[in-house]
Structure 1
Amino acid sequence: MTALPDDRTLTEHGLATTGQGRILLIACGALAREILALIRLNGWQHMTLTCLPAKYHLTPEKIVDAVREAVDKHRKSYDRIFVVYADCGTGGLLQAECDRLGVEMIAGPHCYSFFEGNDAFAAHGDEITAFYLTDFLVKQFDAFVWKPMGLDKHPELRDMIFGNYTKLVYQAQTEDAALEAKARTCAERLGLEYEYRFTGYGDLATSLSALKT
């Protein structure tokens, strides 16, 4: 899956027209396809999507400033803005900034939690030795995991980086045999046990469906 370029909206995808995008979703580019799918499935013509770069997944310190700039840029054009990021490694700073800006954001510590459903994820207890992949990260495994961690050039680093992990958990948003096979291969490459959980869209779907103009 390729993330949408910055500021590409659903208008460009024929899902909203001028005057219909009363709610703006400011989202991580890694969630673009899932959000687009939900909007199409539910006919949410009152929503417009703009995405920040998915690569901020690797540099969460950039998320707060980028969200602030996006809110400031678009605030006058929409009745309501909803931030489709969880905490995502910002240490509570994103929630504090959203509170200051007067905009809402999706609940949860990270996307792995809200995809599974925050309550369901919490019920698993402390899974500190689990490494999570979503559909997006399975598809972009080399670009977002293998290469950024230097494993393409130094595969011997694998045991040092992942030595304290015990399993790879694939949280599948879609039922796709090819993706599941690739996720299994990812687990093998990392030397981890493999666990499959079909989560669907979890709290992402319920949070967006609750938005009213």
Structure 2
Amino acid sequence: MADPAETDPDALTDTGLAPSGQGAVLVIACGALAREILAITRTAGWTHVDLACLPAILHNHPEKIAERVRTAVLRARETYKAVFVAYADCGTGGALKKVCDELGVEMISGPHCYSFFEGNAAFSAHEDEITAFYLTDFLARQFDAFVWKPLGLDRHPELIEMYFGNYTKLVYQSQIDDPALLARAQSCADRLGLDFEHRRTGFGELESSLRNWVTSPR
């Protein structure tokens, strides 16, 4: 299947989600956060909040994220009173924050989702984890599509050592309690030849950031 980020530069989905136009405010998010954001909004009863997702595969092309977000925000302003960007920096090297500052929209603090799920302060304290490879619930589900196949490990397993030889463990940050996902994450560690560690993070600062914004959207 063609990458939506390549075939349609204005695509707002690879998750089956699109803004309904019924809400007063819109969250523009990475597709990797779709399940979590929907769970948060449903639990909170935020019927005035819509969600639109950019393709999660953009993480393989972080240089494209900032301008894709700019296009999405400008389009959303035709319909919505307020817009929030549910991304952290995500490898853009500060480009996404610059775009958000220019447009006057808020985004999530932190370098990436592994940090804000655990809590940015707690994550930054793990100075000894430069050899850790991280999975979230999304990546545990999509490991083959986002890691195994793009790196060619399905065809050339001998490349595992080249890609992961400097890693020592796989850290699974789970957002929900799901024994099947836990087993899948353990299997990913086994396939990569890494030690396994499980941390139940919940939604972390994704949830608190959304709550702070929804209660007083700019």
Shared fold per TM-score greater than 0.5? yes
Instruction: State the distance in 1 between where 2:207 and 2:162 align.
Output: 37
Matched to 1:93, the amino acid is A
Matched to 1:180, the amino acid is L
3-state secondary structure, aligned to 2:36: helix
- Post-superposition shift, 1:135? 0.3
Match of 2:67 in 1: 65
Instruction: State the distance in 2 between where 1:84 and 1:116 align.
Output: 16
Matched to 1:148, the amino acid is P
Query: Could you state the TM-score of these two structures normalised by the residue count of structure 1?
Result: 0.91
Instruction: State the distance in 2 between where 1:128 and 1:3 align.
Output: 31
Please report the RMSD computed on the Cα atoms of aligned residues, expressed in angstroms: 1.4
Match of 1:99 in 2: 101
- Post-superposition shift, 1:46? 2.1
Match of 2:163 in 1: 161
Q: How big is each residue's C-alpha offset from its partner over 1:131-160, in whole Å with a ceiling of 9 and x where there is no partner?
A: 000000000000000001110111100000
- Post-superposition shift, 1:3? 5.0
Match of 2:18 in 1: 8
Pair 1:113-2:115 in alignment: yes
Match of 1:209 in 2: 211
3-state secondary structure, aligned to 1:169: strand
Match of 1:42 in 2: 44
Give the unaligned 5+ runs of structure 2. 1-12
- Post-superposition shift, 1:58? 1.2
Matched to 1:4, the amino acid is T
2:85–2:108 contact (8 Å) kept in structure 1: yes
Instruction: State the distance in 2 between where 1:3 and 1:41 align.
Output: 23
Match of 1:14 in 2: none
Give the unaligned 5+ runs of structure 1. 12-16
Match of 2:31 in 1: 29
Instruction: State the distance in 2 between where 1:78 and 1:125 align.
Output: 41
Instruction: State the distance in 1 between where 2:82 and 2:108 align.
Output: 14
In the TM superposition, structure 1's runs of 4+ consecutive aligned residues that sit over 6 Å from their partners are none
Match of 2:6 in 1: none
Identity of aligned residues (%): 63
Paired residues in the alignment total 203
Q: How big is each residue's C-alpha offset from its partner over 1:49-68, in whole Å with a ceiling of 9 and x where there is no partner?
A: 00000111211111111101
Instruction: State the distance in 2 between where 1:36 and 1:195 align.
Output: 27
Instruction: State the distance in 2 between where 1:127 and 1:77 align.
Output: 43
Instruction: State the distance in 1 between where 2:36 and 2:43 align.
Output: 10
Match of 1:122 in 2: 124
3-state secondary structure, aligned to 1:77: coil
Matched to 1:29, the amino acid is G
Instruction: State the distance in 2 between where 1:120 and 1:67 align.
Output: 28
- Post-superposition shift, 1:126? 4.3
Instruction: State the distance in 1 between where 2:84 and 2:91 align.
Output: 19
Q: How big is each residue's C-alpha offset from its partner over 1:164-201, in whole Å with a ceiling of 9 and x where there is no partner?
A: 11110000000111111111110010111100000000
Instruction: State the distance in 2 between where 1:3 and 1:77 align.
Output: 21
Of stretches 128-137 and 72-81 in structure 1, the one that deviates more from structure 2 is 72-81
Instruction: State the distance in 1 between where 2:168 and 2:179 align.
Output: 23
Matched to 2:56, the amino acid is A
Match of 1:84 in 2: 86
Query: Could you state the TM-score of these two structures normalised by the residue count of structure 2?
Result: 0.89
